[in-house]
Structure 1
Amino acid sequence: MDVNEFVTEQFEEHRARLRAVAYRMLGSLDEADDAVQEAWLRLNRTDTDVIDNLGGWLTTVVGRVCLDMLRARTARREDPLRLRLPDPVVSRDDGDTPEQQALVADAVGLALLVVLDSLSPAERLAFVLHDLFGVPFAQIADIVDRSPDAAKKLASRARQRLRGTVPPTRPDPTRQREVVEAFLAAARGGDFAALLSVLAPDVVLRADTGEGGVRSIVGAAAVAGQASAYHRGPGAACDVEVVLVNGAVGLADFEEGKLRSVLGFTVVDGRITAIDLLADPRRLARVDLGLG
């Protein structure tokens, strides 16, 4: 095996983890792939003899690339508080590939990725790398060009801002499926009372239709009314399948065989506290269903 083949083999061993890091940083599968590709290009321009820890080196490079992407995204954004739904990772219960499993491991659901987007780029990097991947603050400090203590404070501020916005643990998968299926049955039947029974009083529905950003609806009555209108009963020309969305039970809605929307759910204590609905046709066209 020559040097180039060896380097390629070593890089491929780290690819899934690097993509998982970039996905958590960016919430975009395409941008995550771009960040990993940039790391590969930089590796090919580097003398690998001076790299003591390839995994750490690649993580640092991906972190820097993602930080630059986040800063550029923030600079372009007219409204810095405008939400953006992340790209969902969708599969059947038994259809996850190892790469999909890496992307959604450690309870990184859509709800967490949504609130991560409210952090500053440096806060998001510090939190993702340290809290989700165990990268030491000394290494993070080098990426953000600050001291280790300053990097530690970035992660601490991120935790404070995230506290209470997502559940600390995922619910039992069986119970979560029961709640989501109850929601689906009530929505299909237009059963307003049944919808209220599975929705938390302060539930939030975040919907990205591709028109004017993310629309948020808060409160059980308002969300139940929207859900009743969205699913038009068993006679409608649509097919809804229970799937995994970022490792949690969700729904994929098809109309005449074409994906119309993907819904991710956050369930706490047997009630739905958040629904993230992606219905942007352009983004849905890029969703890798993994549904076979």
Structure 2
Amino acid sequence: MSPFVVEVNDAHGRQGVLDVGGASVRTPAYIPPDGFCRGVTNVPDAGVCDLWFGRMDGERLRLHPDERERMENAVCERMNRLPSPVRLLHFNFFTDVVGLRQESLTALLLLQHRAGAGVVEIPRVYCTTGMYEQAVLDALAWQRHTGCGAPLMGIARTADDLMMLERYLPHLGGIGLDCRRLDKPLLYLVRRKLKHQDVRVHAFSFPCSYSGMHGREMPGMVIHWFGVDTVSSLTLSEHVRQHFSTTLSGIGGGKGHEIVNEIRPCLSGASCASSVRGPERRSGERRQRSAVV
């Protein structure tokens, strides 16, 4: 389990030290994407690789061994180029993935272990809290069976997710929050349930701004107040931006313009986004096939 010690905890937030694989990270801290880490002189203590994952990726992973091997080698090579001593691999799922078969879950856990991730994320797809709880149980069983020494991190998208994950905290090395959408009940629950525990809380896909916040409620100012210790922002590859563009091309009327304005920072290559979940079907949009992969 990844030790995290809170040293200062007051009304404004908290400070502490996270120990991952013998490397120490003082919190609060921003964990930059791999492209940023490779482009700076002073290498940060931790870095993250974002991996976007859709239905077709899942089918290649499960049904085509040669493509699976190429995919795994490419991810491992990307992680190896990350100069930071603490490395994370985060899965961003498109909304056409509504579940993971046990073999697919195991493959993604093994991929992180093979790539040298300091913390192994339990992937969170677009499914119910009950379905995700089964994934948590399967991941814990996998860890016991393989003897993987890296701690597991559960991902909470909603307050219900967090309530479920709290039951497994003795066996988890931290909680990750999916922050692509503003969920104030989730953030307030983090403050109430986790802020006074030695549990590391990380905010994934953290945006520069939220459309649901106004005035002085800037995310960069308040996220630490809730008890979040480390933060990483959303990044999109050229492949992902093309996926967004293809999806938007099938939306008629003014709705397409509305969505473009909402996700313009990502489409233009920025490292943050305003409330982006990934391509999802809306009124008038062409139907996309969703699947358990």
- Give the structure with the larger strand fraction: 2
Structure 1 length-normalised TM: 0.32
